[in-house]
């Protein structure tokens, strides 16, 4: 049997399909969030020299934020996802499955991809926060320079945290677009009834 993998397409399933859609079709959304996450990470990094806190204390602060923000954000995202999946209006459901966005995806694919990307970012933030919390409480000792390790951890973690937080704006934008499509659909139905 030939073990050569087929190229991923819009119809691909699982992670291959998600990565294809998100990294190929949603590049603008991806890079926009990544760019603002880098800007935010640099912004808080610039505060460090002026802070009375050490880099380690800043990591502790970010970890606290991550542990407080990630669970409710995960719940918010999952409830929104449940609303979209549980959408029972067949006509409207068909409409969003047929409505093609600027990047060539249907609105349904766009919403699904955004939800999965946001859930992934929040899940990663939650895992990172948990690992950092355990590492902080364990008071691990490192033979490598603490400044180097803390700088790397701070940079990666703050980027992940801001990416997860900024993913909310992508979701809100897509939900607004869904609302517009819904509104326009029902307005056209009303006009048809009145005509």
The string of pLDDT tens digits covering residues 154-176 is: 999 999 999 988 888 877 777 77
Domain ranges for the chain: 14-183
pLDDT given at position 64: 94
Instruction: Give the residue from 104, 82, 114, 93 showing the smallest Cα distance to 11.
Output: 104
pLDDT given at position 98: 75
pLDDT given at position 105: 75
pLDDT given at position 89: 62
Query: How distant, in Å, are the alpha carbons of 8, 12, 15, 23, 104 from that of 5?
Result: 9, 12, 14, 18, 24
Give φ, ψ of 106 to 5 degrees: -75, 160
Taking the C-alpha atoms of residue 57 and residue 151, their distance in angstroms, rounded to an integer, is 12
pLDDT given at position 1: 44
Tokens describing residue 68? 């407080």
Spans of the chain below 70 pLDDT: 1-5, 8-12, 85-93, 195
Taking the C-alpha atoms of residue 59 and residue 150, their distance in angstroms, rounded to an integer, is 8
């Amino acid at each position: 049997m030939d073990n050569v993998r087929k190229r991923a397409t819009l119809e691909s399933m699982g992670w291959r399909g998600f990565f294809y859609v998100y990294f190929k079709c949603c590049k603008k959304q991806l890079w926009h969030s990544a760019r603002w996450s880098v800007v935010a990470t640099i912004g808080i990094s610039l505060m460090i020299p002026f802070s009375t806190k050490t880099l380690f204390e800043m990591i502790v602060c970010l970890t606290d934020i991550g542990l407080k923000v990630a669970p409710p954000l995960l719940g918010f995202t999952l409830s929104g996802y449940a609303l979209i999946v549980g959408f029972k209006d067949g006509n409207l459901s068909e409409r969003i499955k047929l409505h093609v966005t600027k990047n060539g995806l249907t609105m349904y694919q766009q919403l699904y991809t955004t939800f999965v990307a946001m859930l992934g970012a929040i899940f990663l933030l939650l895992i990172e926060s948990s690992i950092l919390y355990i590492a902080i409480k364990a008071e691990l000792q490192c033979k490598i320079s603490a400044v180097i390790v803390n700088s790397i951890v701070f940079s990666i973690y703050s980027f992940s945290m801001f990416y997860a937080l900024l993913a909310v704006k992508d979701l809100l934008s897509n939900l607004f677009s869904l609302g517009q499509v819904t509104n326009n659909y029902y307005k056209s139905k009303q006009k048809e009834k009145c005509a």
